């Protein structure tokens, strides 16, 4: 039996996989605050420190090597530039990203940002300093809130590289207390101890608590005196009271003075028995003879 010559199957040419080295992962920038237009120096420090650890921060200061430079140096710079550019763009706001994404060199982006925002920071520094100088405590706002505001002003100064000595900052806080705290301010100034900011804030809050308790006590005393005046006025003409026209007593409270103003006193039937206990040390009477003839208890 004859067999046709059958050629043996030839091995097919398969694609040979080329082993490629894994690319070095880019630095993790998730913990770097996105830069928009504030706190340039803080953002710069965080970005530069991260890239310096990875050994590529030199791309911020070195230009692309000449074509005649050896291949290894060129490859090294290209990698460093790529990592630096990626890190910058990933930590910029969308608005700034759109402006600088067309630039291919990290050095150019870095320098453009520094030029733009350093000039703006000078203006901002003046604004922050002015805001700090003009800020003043008032009596119509909680002292706890105002002490926090002052500490935030100090942080704003620090962000602009203006670091006030703690003793100076504490001394300025004393000066910024309201005028009603004059006695307390003088007492602090005569103390030999120099408070830290935390100690001083704590001391001020304790004093504020004492002042509020004192005001509450005075308010209770005022209410008690009002009740006494109203009780005494019940001895006046009961007929007017029955007609829905009771005596009117107005109370005015100041820091250290309580004033009772009687705007209406019902006329008694027997004027000789008319006694008004106002608690005042001075009286004003339209009839001088009546003033000398009838009994007033001051």
- Model pLDDT for residues 86-114, shown as the tens digit of each residue: 999 999 999 999 999 999 999 999 999 98
Helix, strand, coil in percent for the chain, rounding step 5:
55, 5, 40
Among residues of the chain, what percentage have pLDDT more than 90?
45
Distance of CA 41 to the CA centre of its chain: 21
Q: What is d(CA 106, CA 60) in angstroms, rounded to the nearest whole number?
A: 6
DSSP designation for 206: H
pLDDT at 275 (0 to 100): 56
Distance in angstroms (rounded) separating the CA atoms of residues 79 and 75: 6
The per-residue pLDDT for 228 is 67
292 pLDDT band, cuts 50/70/90, is very low
- The two tokens of residue 237 are 């003409």
Quick one: pLDDT band at residue 2, thresholds 50, 70, 90? very low
- pLDDT for 7: 45
Asked whether the predicted pLDDT for residue 3 surpasses 70, the reply is: no
Return d(Cα 80, Cα 82) in angstroms, integer: 5
Structure confidence at residue 26 as a pLDDT band (50, 70, 90): confident
CA dist., res. 296 & res. 298, Å (int)? 6
117 touches 95 (CB < 8 A): no
- The answer to whether 163 and 155 are in contact (CB under 8 A) is no
Q: How far is CA 201 from CA 145, 173, 178, 204, 206, in A?
A: 11, 9, 14, 5, 9
Q: Say yes or no to pLDDT of 221 above 70.
A: yes
Q: For helices 143-159 and 166-175, what crossing angle results, to 10°?
A: 140
Interval 254-281 mean pLDDT: 52
Which carries the bigger pLDDT value, residue 251 or residue 27? 27
d(CA 257, CA 30): 61
Structure-model confidence comparison of residues 286 and 199, the more confident one:
199
Which range scores top for mean pLDDT: 70-84, 205-219, 273-287?
Answer: 70-84
| Residue 79, pLDDT score | 94
Q: What is the pLDDT of residues 130-141, one digit of tens each?
A: 999 999 999 999
Q: What is the mean pLDDT of residues 48-53?
A: 94
Tokens of 203: 């001391």
Q: What integer is the mean pLDDT of 66-93? A: 94
Of 119 and 94, which is predicted with more confidence?
94
Rounded to an integer, what distance in angstroms lies between the CA atom of residue 44 and that of residue 8?
69
What is the rounded distance in angstroms from the CA atom of residue 97 to the CA atom of residue 247? 75
Local confidence band at 41 (pLDDT 50, 70, 90 cut-offs): confident
* pLDDT score of 238 more than 60: no
């Amino acid at each position: 039996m004859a067999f046709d010559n059958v050629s043996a199957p030839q091995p097919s040419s398969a694609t040979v996989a080329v082993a490629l080295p894994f690319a070095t992962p880019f630095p993790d920038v998730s913990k770097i605050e996105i830069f928009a237009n504030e706190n340039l120096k803080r953002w710069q420090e965080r970005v530069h420190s991260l890239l310096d650890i990875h050994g590529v921060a030199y791309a911020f200061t070195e230009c692309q090597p000449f074509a005649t430079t050896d291949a290894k140096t060129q490859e090294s710079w290209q990698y460093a530039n790529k990592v630096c550019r990626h890190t910058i763009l990933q930590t910029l706001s969308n608005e700034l990203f759109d402006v600088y994404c067309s630039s291919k060199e990290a050095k150019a982006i870095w320098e453009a940002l520094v030029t733009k925002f350093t000039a703006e920071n000078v203006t901002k520094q003046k604004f922050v300093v002015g805001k700090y100088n003009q800020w003043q405590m008032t009596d119509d706002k909680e002292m706890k809130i105002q002490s926090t505001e002052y500490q935030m002003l100090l942080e704003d100064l620090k962000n602009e590289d203006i670091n006030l000595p703690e003793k100076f900052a504490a001394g300025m806080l004393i000066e910024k207390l309201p005028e009603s705290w004059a006695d307390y301010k003088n007492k602090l100034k005569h103390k030999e101890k120099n408070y830290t900011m935390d100690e001083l804030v704590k001391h001020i809050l304790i004093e504020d608590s004492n002042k509020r308790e004192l005001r509450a006590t005075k308010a209770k005393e005022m209410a008690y005196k009002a009740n006494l005046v109203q009780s005494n006025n019940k001895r006046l003409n009961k007929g007017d009271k029955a007609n829905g026209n009771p005596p009117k007593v107005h109370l005015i409270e100041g820091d250290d003075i309580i004033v009772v103003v009687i705007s209406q006193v019902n006329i008694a039937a027997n004027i000789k028995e008319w006694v008004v206990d106002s608690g005042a040390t001075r009286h004003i009477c339209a009839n001088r003879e009546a003033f000398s003839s009838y009994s007033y208890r001051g």
